[in-house]
């Protein structure tokens, strides 16, 4: 049986050479690991709409400009995801963990030293050549 794929809009928030990352809560899927903020694309919603909604809900920013970086399909065994990753380099507001999640700004070197879910290895690789 083919598993249902969960489509996820993921925002790589980038400003002055740094990336904004959040920590997933222990109770979530892939809990306790760092993530780029984002969440599930709801039915009737485009990836762009989901990205705007999730980034507003989770970190309180308004997206003004973003570029598609990569699309990654990954099977965690218990869940199959398709991550639609966008670099968000124009936005209004100061990103903050509105759901109580720890957050931090890190440079590229910092990204490579944090623990992310497995699917994120390909995102971080794609960022190495992003300009």
Ligand X SMILES: Nc1nc2c([nH]c(=O)n2[C@H]2C[C@H](O)[C@@H](COP(=O)(O)OP(=O)(O)OP(=O)(O)O)O2)c(=O)[nH]1
Residue numbering of the annotated binding site for 8-oxo-dGTP = 24, 29, 35-38, 120
Q: How far is the CB of 57 from Mg ion (least distance, A)?
A: 8
Q: Which pair of tokens denotes residue 66? A: 């973003």
Distances 99 to 9, 28, 74, 122, 130 between C-alpha atoms, Å: 17, 13, 26, 26, 29
| Residue 81 lies near ligand X (rule: CB under 6 A) | yes
Q: Residue 3's binding partner, choosing from ligand X, Mg ion, none, with beta-carbon cut-off 5 to 8 A by kind?
A: none
Instruction: Give yes or no for a contact between 14 and 87, defined as CB atoms under 8 angstroms apart.
Output: yes
| Residue 52 lies near ligand X (rule: CB under 6 A) | no
How far, in Å, CA of 52 to CA of 49, rounded?
Answer: 5
Which CB atom, from 61 or from 119, has the smaller least distance to ligand X? 119
Q: How many CA atoms lie within 13 A of 88 on its CB side?
A: 29
Which CB atom, from 40 or from 64, has the smaller least distance to ligand X? 40
Q: Which pair of tokens denotes residue 52? A: 């705007």
8-67: which residues touch Mg ion (CB under 5 A)? 39
30-49: which residues touch ligand X (CB under 6 A)? 30, 35-40
Choices 62-70, 86-94, 100-108, 112-120 (CB under 6 A): range interacting with ligand X: 112-120
Compute φ and ψ for 104, nearest 5 degrees: -160, 160
Given the rule CB under 6 A, which residues bind ligand X?
Answer: 8, 10, 28-30, 35-40, 54, 79, 81, 83, 117, 119-120
């Amino acid at each position: 049986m083919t598993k249902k794929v969960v489509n996820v809009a993921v925002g790589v928030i980038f400003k002055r050479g740094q990336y904004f990352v959040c920590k997933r809560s222990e109770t979530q899927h892939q809990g306790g690991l760092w993530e780029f903020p984002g969440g599930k694309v709801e039915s009737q919603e485009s990836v762009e709409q989901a990205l705007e909604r999730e980034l507003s809900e989770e970190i309180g920013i308004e997206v003004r400009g973003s570029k598609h970086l990569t699309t990654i399909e990954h099977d965690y065994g218990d869940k199959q995801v398709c991550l639609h990753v966008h670099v968000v380099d124009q936005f209004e507001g100061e990103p903050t963990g509105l759901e109580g999640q720890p957050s931090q700004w890190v440079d590229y070197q910092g990204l490579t030293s944090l623990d992310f879910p497995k699917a994120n290895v390909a995102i971080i690789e794609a960022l190495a050549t992003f300009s």
